Chain A
Amino acid sequence: MSRKRCLRAHAGGLAGVCVAVGRTAVAIACAMPCRPARSQEPVSEARTRVASYRIEASLDAHTKRLTGTTVLDWTNTSVRPVDQLMLHLYMNAFSSFDSTFMRESHSVSEGFTEWGWTRLKSVRLDAEEIPWKFLAPDDGNTKDQTVAALSLPRPVPPGDSVGLRMEFETKLPRCISRTGYVGDFMMIAQWYPKIGVLLADGSWACRQFHRDSEFFADFGDYDVTLKLPVGYTVVGSGVQVQKSAHDTTQVVRFKAARVTDVALAAQPGAQVRRSLWRSPSGKPLRLNLLVQPDHLRYADRHRAAMETALSLLEDWCGPFPLEELTLVDPPWNGMEAGGMEYPGMFATMTPLIEPGDCFSTIEDTTIHETVHQYVPLLVATNEADEPWLDEGLASYLTGRFLDEAYGASRYDLKLARLPLSWFVPVPKLYSWQAAKLSWLADPEGDSATRRSWEYTSEDSYYTQVYSRSHLVLQGLENNIGTARMKSIFRRFCSRFAHAHATAADFYAVVEEVAGPRAREYLASFLESSAAPDYAVRSLDAIDLGDSNAADAGSAGRTGGRVVVERRSPNAYPVDVCVRFEDGRLDRFSWNAEHPSAEFQYWRPVADAEVDPDARVLLDTNGINDSKMNRPDTRVAWKWSGLLAGLVQLLIAF
């Protein structure tokens, strides 16, 4: 999902800063996720087809209802027999204000009346009707109907499969949180009964639909046939294998192999721009763009952003896993459907006006959703339990690609619905700077690694999951270098392609590629809710004649003393750079084990700086990172002069 809903430092090896921090290391080990990282075995073919669906549905375009049948072929991949299956009925989050999703949402207007829901009409196993009931495993909300438990007549042994036939009816809501309709446009997402994920130990990962949570599913093959009125243009996940029309009805059929979901978008008379693109390695990929008439002038920007992201993703994460990628540009009043990814398809966002030097919506969203094709869609992560893993990685890669391909960008601020940059100079920012500004608004309180519904506020969720993770990963790159960062992503995506991955798996790959210090860096800053602050506390001249340590020849000479400190519990080593009056430099790593450290020199010190290469991007105060022996008052005078002028202008007769 896009962060809309919601830099550069030198790279260097960690070898020079590897100083053991015993107490911290113990604390981090305890805080690590309990689930151990998996082995490096390749994912078996069977594991990539755990839940396959054959869906046949018809769409009533007038009432926005889908009626159909799903045949689910599901395999028990756990070590235990299973007599209960868990289903997601995500659309029921929009059935009333009593659902958990709506209770957690404060931004949905009380006037919202165009509800949506999914009704299970029947569930059969070999012609035998299966009973079900709604469960609320997360919060006990008895009015939440987003999770249903099916009671099987007999347990499914490990390794065995069952075929369930489910009849369902889904009503689309007015566009809300990734799905729904507005006017004739329909984003048909999270629209069918979808089985949860059975973990290896026999427990279910099947969360209720929460405000900030997204999705988690098994891989499988999808075969979707949809009947709808003629005149509608339909795009969807996978490859369209059939399209036929009879009188007033048309039938479209999509197939997608080894994916975790399928979504469709339909709009009458919409034009789809199709092209064939070849990746840098020569792999062909069909790109489809369904762009609104209002936004046609931005179609090329969307396409260029897709191609940029795909090129860089091939370099960072490996070949694109699918044959087609479809961009859906929702209409202006259906932006709630925008900024969301599905296998082989994503919904972007387009403002009416976005200047050519501003990439904060078009390029940002399109690149971000393209990146999501790898995480969490190729490497499936649990977006409810570990939201940072997909959004953090995607935010970091998005920022990285934006900065590399487009440079710094102006933020899309508006004045009277027109870009602010048309009237006044708006500073350009790199992505990590924008992320830091966002994070600084609410730096403490939550860590990045909480479960999605446990955040203290929606703002905190976005700040920590998107921005903190982005900054920590960019900081990691500043520490270990771009080459090793690329290796981490390539190995992670290759090892867990078409499989589930956890934070522990990612940490393990980081450690393999860049060593334990890199893993410690990640854990230290992601799992902590603290806001790090390193500082130069003082810089003094000292009379060496008074120093006990001074030799006889130093009497009367002046030396320097630098005191550095960390003002947060995150004890991660940082560099300190000391410049002397004679221009020489002393650069060393301070292990930050103790809250402060003092360094004395035989030469007078001109200035000192901690973390000069910005390896801890989360540092909350860049001003106290350095000190000079001769204060520079020019900025103070300049600003004061301007401020005085402003006051005079305001009170002028």
Chain B
Amino acid sequence: MTRLYRQAITDLSRCRGLVLTFYMLGLVPAVLLVLPFLTKITEVLGPSLASARLLHQADPLLIYDLLQQHADFMSLFQWQLCVVVATGCFLRLVLTGGVLDHLASPGPLDLGRLFASSLRVLPGMLWLGVFELAALGGIALLLDLHISITAIQDAPTEWPAFWLGLTKVAMLGAALAAVLQIFKYSRILLFRSGGAGAHAAIVALADGARFFFRNPGGAIGISLYALGLVALAVIMRATLTYAAVQLDLLPVAVGVLSTQVLVFFHQYIRFLNLAASMQFAASAAGSVETPEKTTTAEGVDAVLDAPGSGEISEEVGEV
């Protein structure tokens, strides 16, 4: 795993433009969205003594007052937030092909190539997006499913119901992680196959699922590794913020800046995770051939375009 990440870091160091561009792509809409919020909060809270109280602790009553007294603004803002997030997610999906292409052949960012690669596999990516949305929706519905088993409801102790409920959540959590990882591999495979349309997406999805289930350890390891890094960053930021608030040291500007550092780090880890996944897909399949040399687009192609390219995952799975 460490070797995979080391290689991914090397690749990513040659894609600094990509990371920076996508950081800016997130920053700009976020700032545009937040500006009216900033204006409103300044107008409402600025002149009130409540602002001093809210600076150091989240007083639920004052926050509730704020939300209730300005419900119209908050409602509109909520919609704007949803639109920005949905648009951002869609844009992410649209540009997936270009990003994968760039990660496969690291170097200076070529926007023309990025868009061209994106367009090449766009229909397939959109189909994968639809499938992923449906899968996530299904998991959400299952989470809300009330398990009604008379034997358990009449049990003299609550523990069976407790463990059943906890198991349900754990299984759905595992399913969520698996779905996210499977779709990640599916996108990689779709990009490599260069296919477009629903059929290509379905094939990629089947291959991605097969690859995931034949290499679950690596897939889970990659996810956990990335998750651990992000969690570490969040914990560090939370600890620093808590300590700073306690000591009344952290100026607001430093707080905002530290948030941006966290966001940038998170963005970097996401790319790292993607690059490592590509490396893993390549190395898992390529160990039969030359895994150390599968760091370029050609290398990945060499592995993934092995005989029986429509059954890439089977090849990979045999490793």
Binding site for B on A (CB under 8 A): 182-183, 292-294, 331-333, 352, 416-418, 427, 429, 433, 436-437, 440, 539, 607, 609, 620-628, 631-645, 647-653
Contacts and interface: CB of A to CB of B under 8 A. Distances in A.
B47 A647 contact: no
B27 A628 contact: no
B270 A623 contact: no
Given A640-B37, A647-B26, 8 more contacts: A433-B61, A631-B42, A632-B45, A636-B51, A638-B256, A649-B263, A651-B87, A652-B270
A153 B271 CA distance: 91
Interface in B140-156: 153-156
Contacts, number: 186
Given A622-B62, A648-B26, A332 B158 contact: yes
A636 B65 contact: no
Given A418-B166, A641-B252, A644-B34, A437 B61 contact: yes
Given A429-B60, A440-B68, A647-B85, A624 B48 contact: yes
A647 B34 CA distance: 9
A623 B51 CA distance: 8
B45 A635 contact: yes
7 shortest A-B CB distances, which residue pairs? A651-B88, A641-B256, A631-B46, A332-B158, A626-B49, A645-B259, A636-B41
21 contacts: A183-B156, A332-B157, A332-B161, A333-B154, A352-B158, A416-B169, A417-B169, A623-B50, A625-B49, A626-B49, A627-B47, A631-B42, A633-B42, A636-B41, A636-B51, A647-B26, A647-B30, A651-B26, A651-B92, A652-B26, A653-B270
Contacts of B44: 623
A653 B154 contact: no
Contact of A621 (B69, B157, B256): B69
A641 B61 contact: no
Most chain B CB atoms below 10 A, which of A429, A626, A628, A640? A640
B55 interface: yes
A628 B263 contact: no
Contact of B29 (A183, A622, A628, A651): A651
A645 to B, nearest CB: 4
B296 to A, nearest CB: 21
Contacts of B57: 427
Given A628-B48, A632-B52, A633-B46, A620 B165 contact: no
Nearest to A434: B60
Interface string B82-118: 0011011101100100010000000000000000000
A271 to B, nearest CB: 14
A417 B55 CA distance: 32
A645 B263 contact: yes
A628 B45 CA distance: 10
B81 interface: yes
A607 B49 contact: yes
A632 B54 CA distance: 11
B142 to A, nearest CB: 13
A614 B22 CA distance: 49
A635 to B, nearest CB: 5
A640 to B, nearest CB: 4
A183 B259 contact: no
Nearest to B40: A636
A17 to B, nearest CB: 21
B84 A623 contact: no
B232 interface: no
A651 B252 CA distance: 24
Contacts of B192: none
B26 A417 contact: no
Chain B residues touching A, majority SS: helix
A593 B91 CA distance: 59
A194 to B, nearest CB: 31
Nearest to B250: A638
Interface string B265-309: 011001100000000000000000000000000000000000000
Nearest to B93: A653
B74 to A, nearest CB: 12
Given A416-B169, A624-B48, A648 B30 contact: yes
B33 interface: yes
Interface in B12-50: 22-23, 25-27, 29-31, 33-34, 37-38, 41-42, 44-50
Contacts of A640: 34, 37-38, 41
B198 interface: no
Nearest to A627: B47
A631 B43 CA distance: 9
Contact of B162 (A352, A623, A626): A352
Contact of A636 (B23, B30, B42, B91): B42
Interface string B127-142: 0000000000000000
A416 B46 contact: no
Contacts of A609: 49
B260 interface: yes
A416 B166 contact: yes
Contacts of B247: none
B270 to A, nearest CB: 6
B233 to A, nearest CB: 11
Contacts of B37: 639-640, 643
B262 interface: yes
Given A607-B49, A640-B34, A647-B81, A623 B62 contact: yes
B158 A634 contact: no
B85 A636 contact: no
A417 B162 contact: yes
A296 B156 CA distance: 14
A182 B55 CA distance: 50
Nearest to A538: B47
Contacts of A620: 65, 68-69
A292 B157 CA distance: 9
Contacts of A626: 48-50
A637 B35 CA distance: 10
B22 A635 contact: no
Contacts of B271: 653
A642 B54 contact: no
A652 B155 CA distance: 46
Nearest to B89: A651
A633 B39 CA distance: 10
B162 A635 contact: no
Contact of B48 (A417, A427, A429, A627): A627
Nearest to A440: B64
